[in-house]
């Protein structure tokens, strides 16, 4: 098995949507995603951002077969990871970890201070299963619960990379 990571392009849009749909069952998603499933606004943004440099979208392939992707955005002093998905049969094999490490390396090259992400929380306050993944990757729960679209709440998670350098007087 040969795992490769490559930059996504506009022709990968449908592949990314397919990966998202194959990364979790309807039962697993209940209470953690909007009732209509993948939010149409998110998909529109994703399609537009496949063409923008500020946004990064990468695809993980095993033997040239797409099995995962990550979607992220460079901010002033951080990288915000919007989405990481791996199709169910390939979960637990280090593909998500490799995608996040790829993003982390890009952030370190740019000397950015931190990685930021989040995961949804259901009505009972239980975070989505990705919470454990992010914790194992070194992300810390900030304690913030952010109101998102469709009445969902999100846990904000941060991983510090570099101390911010102060300008000398």
Q: Where does the chain show beta strands of DSSP type E?
A: 3-7, 55-62, 65-74, 78-86, 114-121, 140-147, 153-160
In a domain, 24, yes or no: yes
Is residue 169 included in any domain, yes or no? no
The answer to the question of residue 29 being in a domain is: yes
Q: Which of 75, 55, 41 is nearest to 7 (CA)?
A: 55
pTM, two decimals, is 0.86
* Domain coverage including residue 102: 3-160
pLDDT in single tens digits along all 169 residues of the chain:
799 999 998 899 999 989 998 999 888 888 777 655 556 667 777 777 777 767 889 999 999 999 999 999 999 899 999 999 999 999 999 999 999 999 999 999 999 999 999 998 888 888 999 999 999 999 999 998 888 766 678 899 999 996 654 444 4
Look at residue 16 and tell me if it is in a domain. yes
Assign residue 110 the CATH number of its domain: 3.40.630.30
Total domain count for the chain? 1
**167 assigned to some structural domain:** no
């Amino acid at each position: 098995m040969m795992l490769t990571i490559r930059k996504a392009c506009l022709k990968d849009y449908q592949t990314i949507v397919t990966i998202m749909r194959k990364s979790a069952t309807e039962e697993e998603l209940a209470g953690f995603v909007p009732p209509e499933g993948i939010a149409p606004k998110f998909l529109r943004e994703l399609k537009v951002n496949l063409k923008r440099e500020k946004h990064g979208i990468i695809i993980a392939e095993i033997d040239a077969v797409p099995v995962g992707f990550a979607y992220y955005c460079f901010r002033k002093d951080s990288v915000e990871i919007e989405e990481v998905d791996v199709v169910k049969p390939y979960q637990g094999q280090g593909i998500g970890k490799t995608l996040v490490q790829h993003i982390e390396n890009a952030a370190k090259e740019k000397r950015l201070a931190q990685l930021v992400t989040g995961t949804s929380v259901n009505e009972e306050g239980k975070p989505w299963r990705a919470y454990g993944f992010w914790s194992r990757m070194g992300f810390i729960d900030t304690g913030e619960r952010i109101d998102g679209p469709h009445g969902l709440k999100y846990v904000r998670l941060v991983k510090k990379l570099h101390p911010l350098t102060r300008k000398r007087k």
